[in-house]
Amino acid sequence: MGAEVVVEGLTKSFGRQTIWRDVTLTLPPGEVSVMLGPSGTGKSVFLKSMIGLLKPDRGKCVVNGVDVVSCSESRLYETRKLFGVLFQDGALFGSMNLYDNVAFPLREHTRKSETEIKRIVLEKMDMVGLAGAEKKLPGEISGGMRKRAGLARALVLDPEIILCDEPDSGLDPVRTAYISQLLIDLNAQVDATILIVTHNINLARTVPDNLGMLYRRELVMFGPREVLLTSDEPAVQQFLNGSRFGPIGMSEEKDVATLAAEQELADSGHHDGSAEELTGVVPQLQPTPGLPERMGVRRRKDRVMSILHSLPPAAQESIIESLTPEDQQRYGVRPHMATATAAATVPAGHRPSPAPRPPQAGERFQGDLSGVAEIPQSPWRPPHQQGPGGGA
């Protein structure tokens, strides 16, 4: 199973420019998470900070008990071996064929024989659908194949955590769908913790177990995918719909006058440029038939049900609806109970419309929804309730 990554109060500036501040989140072991955010919000900087390539000003990023922000160079070197990274452009060596590119970390960081290296390289190239392409040079293959080769290279040291920087960049929608499926299939096979940064909405809607968004130098939210996908936060809705109308502007947030002018345009029927008004939670991608079941999904179910009462009602409903009738019975929940409970706890005339604001990073939903779910014996506890060494 992949490692848990606990990020606490992480803050990063370049000179006087704060990129993001007080980022706090936990990547649950073996689950797939996506970090969304408009261009330039510091998603790549976040990934680089997690592996110690950039030094945050404050905060922690703890992996297997080691804080990569403050640890010694030698511990950082060791801890980095737990990570496999797919950089935005694949970061392949142009003069080496794919075989040598994928073999590179093994030759660099291990003492394995060439026979053993060959076995591993061929296995990983097969996993990413590149069997037979070993002799090709990066310049001779498509962008999608370069991403796959980058992923194969990220896998050779059997990482516990895989970081993917915009795996969809430069790919058409069909190739993006293939790479999305590949990421789910890889997670099913290796059970690694995966964090993907992207601004691709389709990937964000269909791939992850958890979704977060960086915006205005902060983590707007991070949690089970249903929280962000049912959020009525204007910046989140605008981003998910790829709309010009909303608080996110061309290069920064908009002022009140611009927002009012936009509202007038919208009211007069002007189209906002978005392709479609998608709302809600679409089904998550499943591993290709024949591959193992994703263990992360099983663990996530117990984990999410243990925090269900802290989530906004719309997210709760979506989670409850995604359960089988047997699971609903096992957890003691039924459809519509979250919204009914929420409505019952708010005085008539003061009902939230349409749903209360979802919890921000580090903030809990304020409604009285305790007792919505009864959790059977589950080893998972939120990080702040864990003792030393606690985990899933």
Ligand X SMILES: Nc1ncnc2c1ncn2[C@@H]1O[C@H](COP(=O)(O)OP(=O)(O)OP(=O)(O)O)[C@@H](O)[C@H]1O
* Contacting positions for ligand X (CB under 6 A): 14, 19, 37, 39-45, 199
The nearest distance, CB 143 to ligand X, in angstroms, is 16
Nearer to ligand X, 15 or 139 (CB): 15
Nearer to ligand X, 250 or 256 (CB): 250
The one-letter code for the residue type at 318 is S
The nearest distance, CB 126 to ligand X, in angstroms, is 30
Nearer to ligand X, 25 or 297 (CB): 25
Nearer to ligand X, 44 or 110 (CB): 44
The nearest distance, CB 14 to ligand X, in angstroms, is 4
Contact 373, 333 (CB under 8 A): yes
Q: Which residue has the tokens 């001779």?
A: 140
Nearer to ligand X, 37 or 296 (CB): 37
The nearest distance, CB 198 to ligand X, in angstroms, is 8
The nearest distance, CB 367 to ligand X, in angstroms, is 33
Nearer to ligand X, 49 or 341 (CB): 49
The nearest distance, CB 89 to ligand X, in angstroms, is 11
